[in-house]
Amino acid sequence: MAGKVKWVTDIEKSVLINNFEKRGWIQVTDSDDWNFYWMSIQTIRNVFSVDTGYRLSDDQMVNHFPNHYELTRKDLMIKNIKRYRKELEKEASPLAEKDENGKHLYLDFVPVTFMLPADYNLFVEEFRKSPSSTWIMKPCGKAQGKGIFLINKLSQIKKWSRDSQVENTNSEILVGLNNDNSQLFGIIDSPLHLLICTKGLCFVRYKLGFCRFCTVKYTPSTSELDNMFVHLTNVAIQKHGDDYNHVHGGKWTVSNLRLYLESTRGRDVTNHLFDQIHWIIVQSLKAVAPVMNNDKHCFECYGYDIIIDDKLKPWLIEVNASPSLTSSTANDRILKYNLINDTLNIVTPNGEIPDCRWNRSLPKEALGHYQVLYDEEQALSESAERDLRSRSGQLLGSKGSRSSSVRPFPATWK
Amino acid sequence: MMDESVSITQIVQRLKGTNLHSQLEKQAKECLHKPEIKLETLKDDVRRLLKASGWERKLQNAVYRELHILPPPGHPRAPPEHTKEPLAYMRKTQVNWEKRILKSLNSMCTELGIPLARKRPVAEQKELTNKWNEMGTDEPDLSKFRPVYAPKDFIEVLVGLKNPNNERSEDLTVRSHWGLIQVSLNVRDILQMVSLPFFISLPSIFLMSRHKELVSEQDSAAAQQYSRQGCPTGLRAQLWSLILNTTNDPEDITHYEQLKARVIHHDLLVDNLIYKDVKLTASNDDYYFVFEDYLYQVLLCFSRDTAVLEHFNYNCATPPKSCIQSKSGSEQCAVVYPPNGVIPFHGFSMYVAPLCFLYNEPSKLYSVFREMYIRYFFRLHSISSHPSGIVSLCLQFERLLQTHLPQLFYHLREIGAQPLRIAFKWIVRAFSGYLSTDQLLLLWDRILGYDSLEIVAVLATAVFVFRAENLMEVTSLASAEAVLADLSTLKVMPLLQIFLFATSV
């Protein structure tokens, strides 16, 4: 098939368009015969809706799964993870192991969340149970500009909602920290991931990314009203909204974070942290895999927001289906451009018109900055091998030795 | 032999007043209670016990450290300035330069009507204490302040250095020096440096496996040897601390707290220079902006640390003195200002910034920075003939480039792009802010390992060699600058290896 890929998008972003154009693809509209549609979330609903939707033909590809929201809607994400845990418990899988307090050892990575104002009363109940704990408040929607902050008094919420002058704003409160003088470590901002369906599941992870680093220590002893809200994102960008720094945009690369952690805390601890982050990603994706429509015309780029507490434990805050393609700094733009480029190289190898009939395997040479986290194909073939041998004690030991037989794959965590 | 015993006396004298000395005495006394001590062999037994408990090693490390900062040996009747810097014309230039800087500082003070030092009112003190961990959020108006000087001012002084004994020859010959530095100092060529393995020390399996022992043995000298091949990321912080013999004992923390208290009580004019420098440099840097607050916590304390004055025993510079108005209104003249004798210049904060990747405790970060400064960094901005001094490094860079790539040097010279004009800023900062941090740390591993800054000059040459092809094509200083503007992708060790192998053939 010698034709050029015909592409459509309803997101006017240069990082996308430049990538399409550099492949010599042809821009068309959605009423034409298109091959590749990079669509926003609103559009995907229409494409796959029962009433107005249409069947995709074998030479068409879209960038979302019909029910991508199974992971991006907080309530569904939690539901899926809970279901996944229960299934593992039923199978008596070692992954579902719990500690003496009933907490999951390996699958406890979503902090307890309350949505405000709806869950306010539930939150108050929980709050009163552990009055010395600290909570993270994450404003959503219009209030997002305030950034994430810590609270330890109920009055602080009231003050915040008064000050922000936004009615009924949805905000999330998460349990992140349970002791005084906690210091939040950092927030990893969307190292992006990709879920593609060729034969089976395959998750890849983008090796580059940015994070926001917190250097402010929160001490509950501060009594002044202003100091109650200690902003966790880098103070430089938080305080001077206008003085936004165009060089770095308040973002630090994940590789810098890694260097810092390795240098100050040691290599083992750092590797463990990143292992855990990958673990969260893989487990959350596995949790939704059964409910995802296994549609060969689809792929997905999820963005993960992860918070790291001062014990260097990562927590999954949320997953975005439409990670921002806007760039705030030059570095950001370069990262996103390369990301789209690498993504397209995987889903449309050689820039050819997609053919969804055939099962393609992951083009290992063309991964770019992507790195395989999990390959179901490989896992299945290796588990078949394993079943022939007797089950040795090679199961999950400590959290650190997770590169064992449960998920065999060739990638290194770096 | 004479020199040795003088040094020993000096070191013993210095160590006598330290905390280590009293701790050793205490330990020795405690040894006396041990049953294995016999009166007949008292001295040997105590020595043995101290060795076994690791105290001998601590003493060794302390002595090793003192050796690093020993003033140069000199004739007993020579004045100290002559011992620190034998060349008269260098001394003179340094003195004149110091006068210029001081004049600039004082005139800024007069122009702006801001006192050099001022006691803070109680309310301000309280505010600063509360804000100590987030001084970066402050938005003081710094528009009136300008850096006292920048590397571009300093290079002019170095270029103007002339040995009055030498004849000035205008003719350009093969034997003459094409670069900007016009003085002849004895700088080493590649082959003269402690043999080729100097730079290309590839880690041997044997050495690699010594990680854990090194840390447990706590041996400064061994750690220094080890650092020549580069430190593993997870151990670097400990190894550097060991090499520099910095500790984080209670008295170090106390010292730091005292300095912090001084910051709280008094405001210094130079504080504004520090703020401005950080805002202009580190805060705009991709790698270091997150550490802004730490930089203030270190540099403001540094300015007030009179212990730094000790390094003027071997630094050819002299601490600047100014007139400060005391509380009673009377002027006290000839007070060292700033208290540590170091006037910060544009880019100074970049000496601290890379260390923030290694140490997240302010007192520890402070100790390491201070030791790095008094061993190495001070040489980058004072005029002397020392092999690690800025003059020698610049000359070494120019000579290396002229010797090994004469065509390139000539070409650049002809188009008005003297190599030193581009490389100077790298050398003055020991490449901080130009290389990516992980590479920079590998470079500084070697500075510590070889106890010399020469590697900075060699790297500068290696960079030019690496980009030689592109540089041969340029036709202006601006385009040469552009070719060398971004060093963030360079890998230090391969670069040095390429250069060394290419030139050794």
**B236, B283, B290: residue with CB nearest A252:** B290
Shared domain check, A255 and A158: no
The mean-pLDDT minimum among A355-364, B106-115, B139-148, B478-487 falls in A355-364
A305 in any annotated domain:
yes
Q: Are B115 and B325 in contact (CB under 8 A)?
A: yes
Rounded distance, CA A262 to CA A413, Å? 14
Shared domain check, A165 and A28: no
A328 in any annotated domain:
yes
What does each C-alpha distance from A195 to A29, A347, B69, B400, B495 come to in angstroms?
26, 10, 59, 54, 39
CATH of the domain at A326: 3.30.470.20
A98 in any annotated domain:
no
Average pLDDT, chain A: 67
The pLDDT of residue B169 is 58
* Residue B373, CB-side half-sphere exposure with 13 Å CA sphere: 28
Our count of domains for chain A comes to 3
The pLDDT of residue B429 is 96
With cut-offs at 50, 70 and 90, classify the pLDDT of residue A166: very low
Q: Give the other-Cβ count within 10 Å of B128's Cβ.
A: 18
Residues whose CB falls within 8 Å of the CB of residue B142, separated by 6 or more in sequence, listed in order? B272, B275, B276, B279
- pLDDT above 70 (res B194): no
Mean pLDDT of A186-205: 47
**A250, A264, A267: residue with CB nearest B360:** A264
CA dihedral A101, A106, A107, A113 (to 10 degrees): 60
**A217, A234, A268: residue with CB nearest B133:** A217
Shared domain check, A221 and A154: no
A99 in any annotated domain:
no
A1 touches chain B (CB under 8 A): no
Q: What angle do CA B247, B248, B253 make, to 5 degrees?
A: 130
Which is higher by pLDDT, A1 or A365? A365
B300-317 pLDDT, tens digit per residue, is 999 999 999 999 989 999
**A235, A250, A259: residue with CB nearest B437:** A259
Contacts of B433 in chain A (CB under 8 A): none
CA torsion sign, B68 to B70 to B71 to B72? negative
List the single residue in A with minimal CA-CA distance to B131. A227
Return the top range by mean pLDDT from A202-206, A276-280, B142-146, B259-263: B259-263
With cut-offs at 50, 70 and 90, classify the pLDDT of residue B298: very high
B107 burial class (0-12, 13-18, 19+ CB within 10 angstroms)? exposed
- pLDDT above 70 (res A361): no
Q: How far does Cα A58 stand from its chain's mean position?
A: 29
Yes or no, beta carbons of A266 and B234 under 8 Å apart: yes
Distance separating the N- and C-terminal Cα atoms of chain A: 38
Please give the model's pTM, rounded to 2 decimal places: 0.82
- pLDDT above 50 (res A165): no
Contacts of A266 in chain B (CB under 8 A): 234
Q: How far does the CA of residue B376 sit from the closest CA of chain A (Å)? A: 22
Rounded distance, CA B409 to CA B431, Å? 21
Q: A15-33 burial, b if ≥16 CB within 10 A, otherwise e?
A: bbbebbeebebeebeeeee
With cut-offs at 50, 70 and 90, classify the pLDDT of residue A250: low
Which is higher by pLDDT, A7 or A124? A7
With cut-offs at 50, 70 and 90, classify the pLDDT of residue A169: very low
Taking phi over 0 as left and psi of -120 to 50 as alpha, with beta for the rest, B355 belongs to alpha
Peptide bond into B121 cis (omega under 30): no
Contact residues, A window 93-132, toward B, CB-based 8 Å cutoff: none
Assembly ipTM: 0.87
Mean pLDDT of B36-62: 87
With cut-offs at 50, 70 and 90, classify the pLDDT of residue B381: very high
A248 touches chain B (CB under 8 A): yes
Return the top range by mean pLDDT from A16-30, A202-216, B148-162: B148-162
Domain hosting A25: range is 6-65
Q: Chain B interface residues facing chain A, Cβ-Cβ under 8 Å?
A: 130, 133-134, 136-137, 139, 232-234, 236-237, 283-287, 289-294, 357-360, 437-438, 441
Yes or no, beta carbons of A253 and B286 under 8 Å apart: yes
Q: How far does the CA of residue A215 sit from the closest CA of chain B (Å)? A: 7
Yes or no, beta carbons of A245 and B357 under 8 Å apart: no
Contacts of A250 in chain B (CB under 8 A): 289
CATH of the domain at A139: 3.30.1490
Average pLDDT, chain B: 88
Q: Give the other-Cβ count within 10 Å of B284's Cβ.
A: 15
Q: Give the other-Cβ count within 10 Å of B337's Cβ.
A: 24
Shared domain check, A157 and A302: no
Q: For strand B331-336 and strand B321-325, is the pairing parallel, antiparallel, or unpaired?
A: antiparallel
List the single residue in A with minimal CA-CA distance to B134. A216
Q: Which of B131, B143, B278, B289 is most worth mutating to test chain A (most A CB atoms within 10 A of its CB)?
A: B289
Rounded distance, CA A94 to CA A105, Å? 10
Mean pLDDT of B172-180: 73
- pLDDT above 70 (res B385): yes
Yes or no, beta carbons of A236 and B289 under 8 Å apart: yes
**A236, A247, A260: residue with CB nearest B357:** A260
Shared domain check, A305 and A212: yes
Shared domain check, A237 and A345: yes
Shared domain check, A313 and A171: no
Domain end position, chosen among A27, A50, A65: A65
Yes or no, beta carbons of B359 and A236 under 8 Å apart: no
What does each C-alpha distance from B371 to A11, B10, B420 come to in angstroms?
55, 19, 28
A62-94 pLDDT, tens digit per residue, is 888 878 888 888 778 888 888 888 888 888 888
What does each C-alpha distance from B272 to B269, B388, B432 come to in angstroms?
6, 30, 22
Shared domain check, A18 and A124: no
Mean pLDDT of B133-152: 83
Yes or no, beta carbons of B284 and A245 under 8 Å apart: yes
- pLDDT above 90 (res B365): yes
A85 in any annotated domain:
no
- pLDDT above 70 (res A376): no
Yes or no, beta carbons of B130 and A227 under 8 Å apart: yes
What does each C-alpha distance from B327 to B117, B258, B264, B303 come to in angstroms?
11, 21, 17, 21
- pLDDT above 60 (res B144): yes
Please give the share of chain B, as a percent, with pLDDT higher than 90.
52
Indicate the length of chain A as a whole number.
414
Shared domain check, A156 and A190: no
List the single residue in A with minimal CA-CA distance to B359. A264
Question: Phi, psi at residue B292, to the nearest 5°?
Answer: -50, -50
A266 touches chain B (CB under 8 A): yes
Only one residue has tokens 């710094």, namely B142
Q: Are A11 and A64 in contact (CB under 8 A)?
A: no
Number of A to B CB contacts under 8 A, please give it: 73
The pLDDT of residue B34 is 82
- pLDDT above 70 (res B32): yes
List the single residue in B with minimal CA-CA distance to A261. B357
The mean-pLDDT minimum among A59-73, A181-195, A294-308, B299-313 falls in A181-195
The pLDDT of residue A277 is 85
A404 in any annotated domain:
no
Rounded distance, CA A88 to CA A84, Å? 6
Mean pLDDT of B120-145: 85
Mean pLDDT of A368-391: 63
The pLDDT of residue A226 is 32
Rounded distance, CA A114 to CA A154, Å? 14
**B130, B234, B357: residue with CB nearest A267:** B234
Shared domain check, A147 and A28: no
What does each C-alpha distance from A7 to A195, B44, B153, B372 come to in angstroms?
21, 86, 56, 58
A20 in any annotated domain:
yes
What does each C-alpha distance from A193 to A202, A297, A323 come to in angstroms?
10, 18, 10
The pLDDT of residue A162 is 52
Yes or no, beta carbons of A259 and B357 under 8 Å apart: yes
A192 in any annotated domain:
yes
The pLDDT of residue B205 is 45
Q: How far does Cα A317 stand from its chain's mean position?
A: 8
SS3 A69: helix
Which is higher by pLDDT, B344 or B171? B344
Only one residue has tokens 């279901």, namely A83
Contacts of A312 in chain B (CB under 8 A): none
Return the top range by mean pLDDT from B285-294, B366-375, B489-498: B366-375
Contacts of A331 in chain B (CB under 8 A): 286
Rounded distance, CA B151 to CA B348, Å? 10
A219 touches chain B (CB under 8 A): no
Shared domain check, A370 and A275: yes
The pLDDT of residue A405 is 21
A312 touches chain B (CB under 8 A): no
Mean pLDDT of A37-48: 80
- pLDDT above 70 (res A2): no
Q: How far does the CA of residue B233 sit from the closest CA of chain A (Å)? A: 5
Adjacency order of strands within the sheet including A26-27: A26-27, A6-9, A36-38, A61-62
Which is higher by pLDDT, B369 or A150? B369
Contacts of B292 in chain A (CB under 8 A): 236
Contacts of A253 in chain B (CB under 8 A): 286
B86-126 pLDDT, tens digit per residue, is 899 999 999 999 999 999 998 888 898 888 889 999 999 99
Yes or no, beta carbons of A264 and B293 under 8 Å apart: no
B237-272 pLDDT, tens digit per residue, is 999 999 999 988 898 999 999 999 999 999 999 999
Shared domain check, A163 and A258: no
Q: Are B271 and B304 in contact (CB under 8 A)?
A: no
Yes or no, beta carbons of A259 and B294 under 8 Å apart: no
Yes or no, beta carbons of B137 and A215 under 8 Å apart: no
